[in-house]
Structure 1
Amino acid sequence: MKTLIVYSSKTGNTEKVARAVHEAIPTAELYSVESAPAADAYDLVFIGFWVNRGTADDAAKSYMAVIPAKPVALFATLGAYPDSDHARTSLDNAAALIPSCRIAGRFICHGAVDPALQERLRAFPADHSHAVDEARLKRWADASTHPDEADLRNAREWALRVIEELDARSG
């Protein structure tokens, strides 16, 4: 199965996960979204992104817009907790960007929050919906060490399951 791994990474978090997926599937081709080839010639595409405003970041969205109908596995990093409603909704929103594709799998993990974003949010007044409060500071602290080795191991295991499930369907 000819496999492509494409990722968009602002701070390096999603790139780490993409490299872990590639470790699990060394025959796959790995590209950043800026240098990725068209997905047409591939049987399976893993597309990784950082969550921005509840969906894939703009660079990933642009690439996803031209993926032809085929199996796609989504992976992402975000500053919120990976078991949160925000994480689930973000993956759902990203999947909705590629309605002609079959979603072969989904993976999301914590990623350290961009320091520049933290600074912008710190400037918001206390009554703003994204104002920095104790809960947000805790999430940032919790996310600061991610993706960690457990996240990367989980990504490798997930990638292998995606391949195994697709192989089982075709065989």
Structure 2
Amino acid sequence: MTSNNYSIIFSSVTGNTKKLADTIHETLPQDMCDYFGGNELQVPESDLLYIGFWTDKGNADNKTLELLSKLKNKKIFLFGTAGFGGSNTYFNKILEQVRQSIDSSNEVIGAYMCQGKMPQSVRDRYIKMKENPEHPANLDMLIENFDRALSHPDADDLERLKKTL
């Protein structure tokens, strides 16, 4: 393996982050890919790692954070999806949280985030909450965000990702 080889490791529950991983894999030279697949918490030999995550409470999912904490002397490109989105400010806050789990011997060479659809159970929970007369004031906004997220990641999201590689 040479330092030009890379691995793409991702965690994806609803398929959103896998769409991003597939796009990265299709865009980069296939013959340079050492590993493409789910996060098995094994540190790949590649010096360049594309690490994908789904957002859990404003940070990467726990499995991704665990992998990131094991890495030393790697070049890392982070990519992720978040159900609540549309705002680069929000995405940057998430990425800053994720970076805190990365050892200083590593170099983050890039990052990309976009909105991703959420499971229908989330919307169902919001609708049920509306039945309560004392429901949160932002519930309609949350439902609108859910509905906007249904198409993501979309073609524009994937095109923007390609441009960051």
Classify the TM-score, shorter chain: 0.7 to 0.9
> Which stretches of structure 1, 4 residues or longer, exceed 3 Å deviation after superposition?
117-128
Tell me which of 106, 112, 126 is aligned to 1:107: 112
- In structure 2, the partner of 1:64 is 68
TM-score, with length taken from structure 2: 0.84
Q: Distance in 2 between matches of 1:122 and 1:62?
A: 34
TM-score, with length taken from structure 1: 0.81
Question: Do residues 30 (structure 1) and 36 (structure 2) align?
Answer: yes
Tell me which of 3, 6, 11 is aligned to 2:6: 3
- In structure 1, the partner of 2:149 is 143
After TM superposition, the structure 1 = structure 2 runs for residues 153-164 of structure 1, keeping only pairs within 5 Å, are 153-159=159-165
Q: Distance in 1 between matches of 2:68 and 2:86?
A: 22
How many aligned positions are there? Answer: 155
Tell me the CA shift for residue 123 of structure 1: 5.0
| Aligned residue identity for 2:85 | Y
Q: Is the 8 A contact 1:121 1:132 kept in 2?
A: no
| Aligned residue identity for 2:155 | E
Q: Distance in 2 between matches of 1:87 and 1:79?
A: 11
Q: Which moved more, 1:135-144 or 1:62-71?
A: 62-71
Q: Deviations over 1:51-75 (max 9, x none)?
A: 1101001121121121112211110
Q: Which moved more, 1:118-127 or 1:24-33?
A: 118-127
Q: Is the 8 A contact 1:61 1:97 kept in 2?
A: yes
- In structure 1, the partner of 2:122 is 117
- In structure 2, the partner of 1:80 is 84
CA RMSD of aligned residues (A): 2.0
Q: Is the 8 A contact 1:82 1:108 kept in 2?
A: no
Tell me the CA shift for residue 136 of structure 1: 1.0
Q: Which moved more, 1:146-155 or 1:104-113?
A: 146-155
Q: What are the ranges of 5 or more consecutive residues in structure 2 without an aligned counterpart?
A: none
Question: Do residues 97 (structure 1) and 116 (structure 2) align?
Answer: no
| Aligned residue identity for 1:38 | V
Tell me the CA shift for residue 116 of structure 1: 2.8
Percent identical pairs in the alignment equals: 26
Instruction: State the secondary structure of the residue aligned to 2:12.
Output: coil
Tell me the CA shift for residue 158 of structure 1: 1.5
Q: What are the ranges of 5 or more consecutive residues in structure 1 without an aligned counterpart?
A: 160-171
